[in-house]
Amino acid sequence: MQLSKNWLKDFISIDLSTQEICSQLTMAGIEVDGYEEITSDITGDDAIIKLDITPNRGDCFSVLGVARELSAINKLKLKIPKIPEVKEAFKDNIGISVCSKGPSYYGRTVRNIAINSETLPLIAERLKFSEQKLIDPVVDITNYILLELGQPLHAFDRDKLYGNISVRTANDNEEIKLLDEQNLVLDESCLVISDDNGAVAFAGIMGGKESSVSTSTKSIFLESAYFKPSAIRGKARRYGFQSEASLRYERGVDFSIQEIAIKRASTLLNETVGGEFSSIASKTLTNHLPKHSKIILDLERSNLVLGTHITKKKAIKYFKSLGLNPIISKNQTISAISPPWRYDINIEADLIEELARLEGYDSLPQDSLTPIFKKTKPSNQSYLSNNLVANGFNEIISYSFINEVDHELFGQGEETLEVENPISQNMTVMRTNLVSGLVNSFIYNLNQGKDSQRLFEIGNVFNLTKSGEVKEILSLGGLINGSLKPNNWNDKSKETSFYDLKGILEDMLTMFSGSCSFKKCSIEFLHPGMSSSIELNGQSIGYLGSVHPSLLDKLDIKQDIFIFSFEVDKLKLNSSRSFEEFSRYPSSSRDLAFILDQSVTASSLETVVKSSAGEFFKNFEIFDVYQGKGVAENKKSLAISVSWQSMKQTLLDSDIDNAVEKIVNSVQKELGGELRV
């Protein structure tokens, strides 16, 4: 949203530079994108202020709302211009009915207008400054009121309306053609304005084409209504567009301003297109208007939270400037009720935030908090996060919403939950794993010149069960690629491999209870010869592997990337770990090489060796894998080092020889392996 500085002066007498105004708004939590000094042909020196209003501050989507903020900050009186009453020449017998989703509706007929009149110069200029296209005097005035007061208005061609006006939910498959020529098929979740023939407007979003004002229009029916935010929210996005009206209705408009807005528009119409004005027809279901409850504020606690010394008198003054109607209770607490234009003040914390804003964030004390040290066991998340950071990983946070293309690439055919009201066309489904976010972050960083990356994310993923229920699972995912360590003049680093990532995971998982193992698996987006499941006590909790070459080609990635993912809540930190006394006697080791079938895994060899190495077994390591000359086709040579150590004595060669013999016999019997000599 953008507006002119001089327009603000219609509501407040402010004598500050544009830069000072922008600074004050920024410190009050209203983001300012920038400003531009200009000269108005009508009001002289002026400036265009560009704002980026957050979703919770729907009240600031108007000149009045911004002026109200500045009046509170600068302790200025807010001026509400008097609106001259237009002469009522007749009564239109049009009937109005409303519903709970649209509980308040005001309408007025203006006949015999001069539609081809020119828009008033001041209105035209301010609309241009606000980047609003000039259309015709009637539409220009409705747009002007929307920007000035924050109340959307709509004008129908009165001669194109039949019978009475009704605010109702749409019928299933009810069709309407909008002003922008879109043909929509609505359902019962949508709200419409209809006459006796059918829908004439998509309520709170856009008017219908068939009842629109044109150059031949002689009479109009002006609408000013309140629709509940929940009834409008997400409807425009569902159909792939957004309007100025829906932007405001979704966030909540002042439910007490509808009559004021239609009277203000009537005055401007009278000055521009003339005509004869009917009396205002209206219908309001008071019981269905928002009811802002009383909020109790403990000022002593508020000052403790903020580190301030705000007095009751000062707090009352702040709240009055915001329209909160504060009252000091008998127990010395302050009670307040949020005004009809504020939907973001509902609890005590909201009142504390308002005190902080008006006191000035920059004036709050900067004293450091006193640390409180507690002896607590680390959570799974904190341990995993700290371990990965220590291994050179950087944590990312990505959206839980992804697009359908990413789900098809990485979702492994799992059913996913579709988002009913996506905030973007690229966020239409819920993620079933963390891989897409990691890969997209990798691609972005790669395009910024970052060749070697280590990324991880801890977050929830969402799976649909066979019964249709949503299962939310806390997962950890990671990605690694590029050089294993930074290059230097003395030691050129090698490229990261699958086994480097596997080693990081093996080391990290040793802190958890249970036996961790890795088994070959098949996952659609991983390389079939370089992927593994991560198993805890024989149960799969995740996977790791190299991204499939065909997928890398599709994503235009020229280097290998390795990823992993597993469920966090299936892990249990081993709290019983304690110091193990070391042996004072030397260890003994033997190097052995076995000829095995290619299908035999290293983990299966390790299992056999450990089970047959005897009571003094200490360690197992693989130091070579060989295929080629001297080894038969479909065979491989695995060279291992096995060590033994006793806590009570120095082992004899005979002890080691007996253990080696048992290992050789077990490998031959269980794995079909032969000792290579």
Residues 61, 162 within the same domain: no
Q: Are 221 and 109 in contact (CB under 8 A)?
A: yes
Residues 605, 629 within the same domain: yes
Say how far apart CA 289 and CA 101 lie, in whole Å: 9
pLDDT at 284 (0 to 100): 96
Residues 310, 424 within the same domain: no
Low-confidence stretches of the chain (pLDDT < 50) are none
pLDDT in tens, 313-327: 999 999 999 999 899
One-letter amino acid of 133: K
pLDDT at 411 (0 to 100): 82
The residues, any chain, with a CB within 8 Å of residue 320's CB and separated by 6 or more, are 326
Residues 16, 108 within the same domain: no
- What CATH number corresponds to the domain at position 162? 3.50.40.10
- What CATH number corresponds to the domain at position 671? 3.30.70.380
- What residue spans of 130-218 are helical by DSSP H? 137-149
Pairing of strands 561-567, 539-547: antiparallel
What are the tokens at 597?
Answer: 């079938």
Q: Is 207 exposed, middle or buried (0-12, 13-18, 19+ CB in 10 A)?
A: buried
Residues 560, 453 within the same domain: yes
Please, what is the Cα angle at 575 between 570 and 578, to 5 degrees? 135
- What CATH number corresponds to the domain at position 25? 3.30.56.10
Say how far apart CA 437 and CA 410 lie, in whole Å: 10
Residues 337, 398 within the same domain: no
Q: What is the chain's Cα-based Rg?
A: 36
Say how far apart CA 33 and CA 355 lie, in whole Å: 25
Largest CA distance in the chain: 119
Q: Are 319 and 310 in contact (CB under 8 A)?
A: no
Residues 212, 93 within the same domain: yes
One-letter amino acid of 647: M
Phi, psi angles (nearest 5°) of residue 133? -75, 135
Residues 199, 161 within the same domain: yes
Domains held by the chain: number: 5
Residues 461, 562 within the same domain: yes
Residues 403, 550 within the same domain: yes
First to last CA, the chain: 81
- Domain assignment present for residue 334? The answer is yes
Residues 114, 237 within the same domain: yes
Residues 163, 209 within the same domain: yes
pLDDT at 274 (0 to 100): 94
- Domain assignment present for residue 370? The answer is no
- Domain assignment present for residue 284? The answer is yes
Q: Which structural domain, as residue segments, surrounds residue 638?
A: 588-675
